Structure 1
């Protein structure tokens, strides 16, 4: 009963109405002498300059705070020297990341418990918002993704007998809705959602056996309907062919032929010929 494969549907989850919190333009701020107090303290304690250099690698950015106040964001890789007195230099990775949501038990539209697994592909685009507006951006993404998954799954049944939208058949539609909903919730935190996919879907263990019996019963009914339809067509064709060849039959004889054919074709086991002994 496992369904969607972990395929990324679409390259971006951003909609035209979602405004992602981005960083302000980089300021040409002095990192070595941001304030008079910083200069005085660093001169009074010169040994603090021993840890005054930081390297910003590719796919990284640095958030600079001066006495707890936002100063700028450094996005170009390189070596930066700063006054360690009053200046805080936080290096943040802006690489693409994944957040796994394994085996989450939720309720579908009909109230049936299902077990859903998902994966979120995301990256930090607004370094300032991701660092200052949320306590822990990684935990925030995980918690928000769980809430989004619960909301979207509850809008669809596990499967629909009438061929409507369901969790089992609408992998691409669900991925698009999950991505867009999650992006709207994470935009203020400077997080860009690349994709949000369901990777596994099944009934919860407590109802899995009952649902399997139901599926087997539905499959058997459909098969029986197909067999009966075929048997009727065969019986009708046999009588028409006999009459076209000039064989005259009464209504009782036609009924007997149809009954015998339906019994043989629709029976659980093959016909067993019997011979009357004199």
Structure 2
């Protein structure tokens, strides 16, 4: 079921017309009583009942709000003009907010792609774009949005690892933009039947579960140390190679293989050490 636009009459002019008609009917009723004219009395009573029933056709629509109209359970259209409006008094109007709304899911405990338990939460920004679908396709569209958004968040969290290990895969912590786009697409797919448009979906909380947080912190620290050491060694080897090439090129000193190996060892110790090297001065022969 899709939204159908329906026209409505402005309420103030219709109200003035009905009040004037009621005054005229009241005057007719009084005239019928004074002249003891039965048909005038009956006609004025019937007209008064009809006019009073027409007063039940008034309803108000606020800005960014829609009135979903139904006649004895059948959907007849949606009115979006704001202010006091009037339609058939037998129509029932259910008001639906079209304003942009947001909510933050609670912290969900799920297993990420590698099986580690994590805590994750997201902020969802959404808006009703089809009032008929929101009212008639689901029982409670607000509850539907919350439940389906949390279900999509769980499914998305289990599709990615928490952290990046091989440098190429998408991870929850290192690729927030890609993860947010995936989450938005999953939520939008689930909420399409409820006439809801997902404007934005972003991760607001991400952490390892408390029971493994300390172990994962140690793992991250170890990985950081290994990565740093790897980079240091790579740089040190490049510097040693450059130093030996420059010494040989400029003819500063001619080293045999044994002393070349000793120099390489000493330079690597100096460059790769996490503490400042203590120099030793040789006051004797070079050999």
TM over 0.5: yes
Unaligned runs of 5+ in 1: 1-20, 33-39
Match of 1:127 in 2: 131
| 1:268 and 2:268 matched | no
Kept after mapping to 2: 8 A contact 1:60/1:75: yes
Match of 1:13 in 2: none
Q: CA deviation at 1:137?
A: 0.9
Kept after mapping to 2: 8 A contact 1:22/1:125: no
Unaligned runs of 5+ in 2: 15-45, 283-287
Kept after mapping to 2: 8 A contact 1:101/1:117: yes
Change over 3 Å in CA distance of 1:252–1:77 after alignment to 2:
same
Instruction: Name which of structure 1's ranges 240-249 and 179-188 shifts more when overlaid on structure 2.
Output: 240-249
Q: Deviations over 1:227-278 (max 9, x none)?
A: 22333333333334444325333322222222222222222322234689xx
Kept after mapping to 1: 8 A contact 2:3/2:130: yes
More helix by share: 2
User: Structure 2 matches for 1:215-234, cutoff 5 A?
Assistant: 215-234=220-239
Kept after mapping to 2: 8 A contact 1:27/1:71: no
Match of 2:32 in 1: none
Q: Deviations over 1:189-229 (max 9, x none)?
A: 12122222223322222222212211111111122122223
Equivalent of residue 202 in structure 1, options 191, 199, 207: 207
Change over 3 Å in CA distance of 1:87–1:249 after alignment to 2:
closer
Q: Deviations over 1:121-152 (max 9, x none)?
A: 21112212211222211111000001111112
Q: CA deviation at 1:156?
A: 1.1
Match of 1:252 in 2: 258
User: Structure 2 matches for 1:65-80, cutoff 5 A?
Assistant: 65-80=70-85
Change over 3 Å in CA distance of 1:242–1:51 after alignment to 2:
same
Match of 1:98 in 2: 102
Q: Distance in 2 between matches of 1:236 and 1:70?
A: 81
| 1:159 and 2:139 matched | no
Q: How many residues align?
A: 245
TM-score, normalised to structure 2, is 0.73
Q: Distance in 2 between matches of 1:172 and 1:275?
A: 56
Match of 2:2 in 1: 22
| 1:109 and 2:121 matched | no
Kept after mapping to 1: 8 A contact 2:5/2:79: no
Q: Which has the higher contact order (CA 8 A, sep 6+)?
A: 1
TM-score, normalised to structure 1, is 0.75
CA RMSD of aligned residues (A): 3.1
Q: Distance in 1 between matches of 2:201 and 2:281?
A: 68
| 1:189 and 2:194 matched | yes
Instruction: Name which of structure 1's ranges 144-153 and 181-190 shifts more when overlaid on structure 2.
Output: 181-190
Paired residue secondary structure (1:166): coil
Match of 1:171 in 2: 176
Q: Distance in 2 between matches of 1:166 and 1:160?
A: 5
